[in-house]
A and B are shown apart, each in its own frame.
Chain A
Amino acid sequence: MLESRELTKKYGSKTAVSGISLKLEAGHICAMLGPNGSGKTTWMKMAAGLVKPTSGEILFEGAPVSIESRRHIAYMSTEPYFYTWMSAKDVGKYYEDFFEDFSVERYRNLLARMELTEDLKVKALSSGMAAKLKIAATLARDAKVWMLDEPFNGIDLLARDQIRECIVERAGEDRLLLLSSHLVEEMETLVDRAVYIREGVLIESVDLEQLRTERGLSMADLYRQIYTGKEVIA
């Protein structure tokens, strides 16, 4: 559903993403893993059309990412991005205005589950509440691809469980969910594929159940192995 071919992004002399060729099929929840600055966000932003590649291609359903693909791809960036003059209600209105797949009802439902109210001002939100609002707005869409960049950042344990539940609810055979997070161990049961990136390069792409069956490793074990170079004893 989402495919990149030799995708590269350079900022001057710095290379953020280097020739990543990756194919992500529908029906999966996929984790994008790697340390800060490894290129995960840049890859996602290129898929969302926010960043233009230096070379290579990024395709959605076989066609290059375009205005049309933005209708079906929901990207949630790490940082807060709502206009500061907005209230939670305004955010809902904005999404409703621009995205056909957005459901105000689902949004309100998600807000309630995250213990947020519509009259809250974006300006007045704590970082945890701002993070929850982003998720509520993004998951209230009925996209074909959701890319959540660090959805668990700054969120307390109970809300994280709630968010995991919401993510599972949105998953489906015809959808793709891509999550990038540092909380590798918390995602173990949630995701079924993992993509490991380091310094802009794709290191490995695995099916997690296969990883467990064939190599006896967990997603976190493989992460440690890849990024420290040390063999993990299974």
Chain B
Amino acid sequence: MIRLMKYELRKSWYLKAILLLVTAVAEAVFLIGLWGGKDSLTATGVLLLTILATTGTMVIGLGTVFVLHRDINTKQSCMLFMTPHSSYEILGAKLLENAISILLIGAFFFGLGALDITLLFAKEQALDRLWQIMSEMLRTINENLTIDAPHLAAFLWMLIADWLTTVVTACLADVLSASLLAGKRFSGLISVLFFLALNVALNWLIRLIMNQIPTDFVTSCVVGGCLSIVLGAAMYVVTAVLMERKLSV
């Protein structure tokens, strides 16, 4: 299993390397602006970093799906599917590698963000002020929102759970399309359609269940996240079964 994951990482390291490289550039811009006193550069840096942080994890997730697509639909499929591993292990390795990468990259950006914010306001010596401003902003959105550990943690949990499940959904869509169409012309398009359909169904189901539960922000995030994970796990099993029984590469 670890070996499978090792190769999954090798297959996608290119993407991750580019992400890190662009992040390094953005960080450099930010730092130059900060120390050079060029506010425009600092702001650009912050903007770039924020975009990278939010899209970075998405890109990694997409990367996993693309690699799966390639592994199923090109001649390279022999490499993976002739090994004595079950589809559960093969798919599981991909998803695990993806999850770990997302968590690591997420933690990386979190750390970087914390570092940068500290730098920014250490310079301006207004860290408290930042906190106040942000809390006020949130209060105007919703009375009950505050930035504190539980809220942040719950929110992040839901975000990550949601995203991981989205990746599994995309994998299922791709395998479904490949199994039914056997690489015919529009299989890529069809898998996107499957994906959208599955997403809609999933969201509908989650909303249905969530409406039964009276919630506050933290609980809804936590429960929502858990629900996502459960559904994600179910889809993982379905995808693996499809790969094992129906998929011809």
Residue-wise, chain A 97-115 has the 8 Å CB interface mask toward B (1 for contact) of: 1110000000000000000
Q: Is the CB of A50 within 8 A of B77?
A: yes
Task: Tell me the residues in window 99-138 of chain B with beta carbons closer than 8 Å to chain A beta carbons.
Answer: none
- Please name all residues of chain B whose beta carbon is closer than 8 Å to the beta carbon of A82 when the two chains form the complex: 76, 79
For chain A, which range describes its interface: under 10, 10 to 19, 20 to 34, or 35 or more residues? 20 to 34
Q: Is the CB of A67 within 8 A of B86?
A: yes
For chain B, which range describes its interface: under 10, 10 to 19, 20 to 34, or 35 or more residues? 20 to 34
A214, CB-defined interface residue at 8 Å: no
Q: Is the CB of B10 within 8 A of A85?
A: yes
The A interface, classified by DSSP as helix, strand, loop or mixed, is: loop
A77, CB-defined interface residue at 8 Å: yes
In the complex, A94→B7 CA distance in Å?
9
Q: Is the CB of B11 within 8 A of A83?
A: yes
- Please name all residues of chain B whose beta carbon is closer than 8 Å to the beta carbon of A83 when the two chains form the complex: 10-11, 76, 79
Q: Is the CB of A81 within 8 A of B78?
A: yes
Interface centre among A12, A68, A94 (most CB of B within 10 A): A94
Q: Assuming A67-B86, A83-B11, A85-B10, is B248 touching A50 (CB within 8 A)? A: yes
In the complex, A52→B83 CA distance in Å?
16
Q: Is the CB of B77 within 8 A of A94?
A: no
Identify B75's interface contact among A52, A77, A94, A98, CB under 8 A: A77
B185, CB-defined interface residue at 8 Å: no
In the complex, A214→B75 CA distance in Å?
43
Q: Is the CB of B3 within 8 A of A98?
A: yes
A154, CB-defined interface residue at 8 Å: no
- Please name all residues of chain A whose beta carbon is closer than 8 Å to the beta carbon of B83 when the two chains form the complex: 70, 98-99
B37, CB-defined interface residue at 8 Å: no
Q: Is the CB of A80 within 8 A of B3?
A: no
Interface centre among B10, B184, B246 (most CB of A within 10 A): B10
Q: Is the CB of B81 within 8 A of A50?
A: yes
B156, CB-defined interface residue at 8 Å: no
B182, CB-defined interface residue at 8 Å: yes
Residue-wise, chain B 49-64 has the 8 Å CB interface mask toward A (1 for contact) of: 0000000000000000
Q: How far is the CB of B86 from chain A (nearest CB, A)?
A: 5
Q: How far is the CB of B64 from chain A (nearest CB, A)?
A: 16
Q: How far is the CB of B12 from chain A (nearest CB, A)?
A: 11
In the complex, A98→B249 CA distance in Å?
19
Residue-wise, chain B 75-96 has the 8 Å CB interface mask toward A (1 for contact) of: 1111101111110000000000
In the complex, A85→B82 CA distance in Å?
19
Q: Is the CB of B84 within 8 A of A71?
A: yes
Identify B84's interface contact among A9, A68, A79, A81, CB under 8 A: A68
Identify B78's interface contact among A71, A75, A85, CB under 8 A: A75
Task: Tell me the residues in window 1-57 of chain A with beta carbons closer than 8 Å to chain B beta carbons.
Answer: 9, 11-12, 45, 48-52
In the complex, A94→B79 CA distance in Å?
9
B247, CB-defined interface residue at 8 Å: yes
In the complex, A215→B10 CA distance in Å?
56
Q: Is the CB of B85 within 8 A of A51?
A: no
Q: Is the CB of A81 within 8 A of B248?
A: no
- Please name all residues of chain B whose beta carbon is closer than 8 Å to the beta carbon of A11 when the two chains form the complex: 182
Q: Assuming A67-B85, A67-B86, A70-B82, is B249 touching A80 (CB within 8 A)? A: no
Q: Is the CB of B247 within 8 A of A81?
A: no
- Please name all residues of chain A whose beta carbon is closer than 8 Å to the beta carbon of B245 when the two chains form the complex: 52
Chain B: CB-nearest residue to A76: B78
Chain A: CB-nearest residue to B248: A51
- Please name all residues of chain B whose beta carbon is closer than 8 Å to the beta carbon of A9 when the two chains form the complex: 248
In the complex, A214→B170 CA distance in Å?
60
Chain B: CB-nearest residue to A46: B248
In the complex, A75→B82 CA distance in Å?
8
- Please name all residues of chain A whose beta carbon is closer than 8 Å to the beta carbon of B86 when the two chains form the complex: 67
Binding site for B on A (CB under 8 A): 9, 11-12, 45, 48-52, 67-68, 70-71, 75, 77, 79-83, 85, 94, 97-99
A-B contact pairs, 14 of them (CB 8 A): A11-B182, A50-B78, A50-B248, A50-B249, A51-B249, A67-B84, A67-B86, A79-B75, A81-B75, A81-B77, A82-B79, A85-B10, A97-B6, A98-B83
| New A-B pairs, 17, CB < 8 Å, besides A51-B249, A83-B79 | A12-B182, A50-B249, A51-B248, A52-B247, A52-B248, A70-B84, A75-B78, A75-B82, A77-B75, A77-B78, A81-B76, A81-B79, A82-B79, A83-B76, A94-B7, A98-B84, A99-B84
